[in-house]
Structure 1
């Protein structure tokens, strides 16, 4: 006799919560916190943010996890502070100093070097990074004292500008960059080029893909919304150690963005009720209308007031590849 699958624990909700992650919290910890707060069945994040960094961490709940790759591949914006005069093992404040200098570059000297760090550049990721070396994370090997050879790779920096230059030997930068770019490596390499060395002291992410600063929600605000929806317990139960559960999620759910928010750069196919039924069953549908494309490598379909499927447009038909709330 076939065994029944275990029923998922939690609410079958879908959407994005754009957390303003505080310093000191890891990305995995943040995902677990959101999953617990929203009592969601499934959760995942779109792009790791170091514990020492703060700012925008997009967290997908439920079916929104199917759209994570589209956010991961999106452009990211960072604001970061570099302290000149010292290079560390981690390229930030966590590791010990390994090189130092009395040189403090002028704003003009820094500005003169920035052109070398824009566009397609070759970059060696930091020793303390999530890069995999023979199946092991580089930061795990580094913590064990191993010095590993990490190959250089090509990344794209769309914008790198000085936001502020301070006399005490620090420079604040803003950068728009593509997937896989490490601003800690930019600080390290720029410091070497300037002959003064450098490391990141503050790092804040301001945008990821379709998500920006206006979408961010502080953790304290979400926790307050959860507290408003908690059940009221009798004094005896509280004295016995009982913890009130969240029974009304309306306040929390107001912070959720629709799953398709992550797909702003893709072509949207709006379906009729009849077409929606076919797509939810995994079948292609012919697109009509003068503006309908004949071919589109990546597209998404909406209908019934929600996101229905990810797919492509081929020969004038939308072909579903991943269905939301239907088969597949």
Structure 2
């Protein structure tokens, strides 16, 4: 018999305003400890020096993580012009410098080339795998790698501010897999002035906004108390981009056991991926087929927040 994992059987989403310094994994572990949760995960890594929205899923909500990972996200970041680094951020070693400083109009014009469906090469210091090994591990050993370009959808990239001649503040809304550091690096190359990211903040991710986030200090203050539970959002928050159908009582019972169940649907077509709700609670995610939902993920929440 498998050993039962220790902790509370609690499910939902917690939005953390991540500070600069800790890794995303460190923050997840802190939140899991504070809630005494059995299981936790996050939707989208932030670099240690980055701040802002880190959406953390507890319990059954971890099954909805892919839908948040695929959602659009917004970043506000400051680019340092005139200097390139080996990490494409301020922590790296300087590779090259230049005295060229493009004016605002040149920057705005260059930004247009980064909007839409683009190809982006991840930084040398990134978590992508090269021959089964993380790129950053090989980069730390001084290896220069050929990393294949990856597709990225950028909905918008605009200039917010020009604090001084050496810096420009940008806002980007993009899809899954975007590297802000690569945007800064490539922008510097297009402008001919070299560049890297100085500061980076994720302001929202899917349905999660930094204005509704809590800090790690608040997590520490309320750790292991019921007061912290007030900041736990429902797992259904991770399903907002999917169409919703309503399960019948019999259908909900079948779905909970992993079988196709009857649902009532509106504005849903055959083959659509959607999620079923019964008495206000998510039951399953699956494919809609002629009045039934064929489940791919089943939620066993029960009285999970007790």
**Same fold flag (TM > 0.5):** yes
1:163 is displaced (CA, Å) by 0.5
Moved more, 127-136 or 268-277: 268-277
Partner SS, residue 208 of structure 2: coil
Question: Which whole-Å deviations, capped at 9, do the CAs of 1:56-86 have from their partners, x for residues lacking one?
Answer: 0111100111111111111111000001110
Aligned partner of 1:325 in structure 2 is 300
Partner SS, residue 112 of structure 1: helix
1:259 is displaced (CA, Å) by 0.6
Partner SS, residue 182 of structure 2: helix
Contiguous gaps of at least 5 residues in structure 1:
227-245
1:127 is displaced (CA, Å) by 0.4
Q: Distance in 2 between matches of 1:161 and 1:223?
A: 36
1:288 is displaced (CA, Å) by 4.1
Structure ID, larger Rg: 1
Mapping for residues 1-328 of structure 1, pairs under 5 Å: 4-226=1-223, 246=224, 249-288=225-264, 291=266, 293-325=268-300
1:294 is displaced (CA, Å) by 4.4
CA contact (8 A) 1:292 1:316 kept: no
Higher RCO (C-alpha 8 Å, min separation 6): 2
Q: Distance in 1 between matches of 2:83 and 2:267?
A: 57
CA contact (8 A) 1:210 1:263 kept: no
Residue-pair matches, total: 302
Moved more, 313-322 or 291-300: 291-300
Q: Distance in 2 between matches of 1:12 and 1:167?
A: 51
Q: Distance in 2 between matches of 1:134 and 1:91?
A: 22
1:265 is displaced (CA, Å) by 1.0
Partner SS, residue 24 of structure 1: coil
Q: Distance in 2 between matches of 1:126 and 1:282?
A: 41
Q: Distance in 2 between matches of 1:52 and 1:276?
A: 44
1:292 is displaced (CA, Å) by 6.0
* Dislocated runs of 4+, deviation >3 Å: none
1:316 is displaced (CA, Å) by 2.3
Question: Which whole-Å deviations, capped at 9, do the CAs of 1:14-71 have from their partners, x for residues lacking one?
Answer: 0011111110010111111111110000011111100010000111100111111111
1:123 is displaced (CA, Å) by 1.4
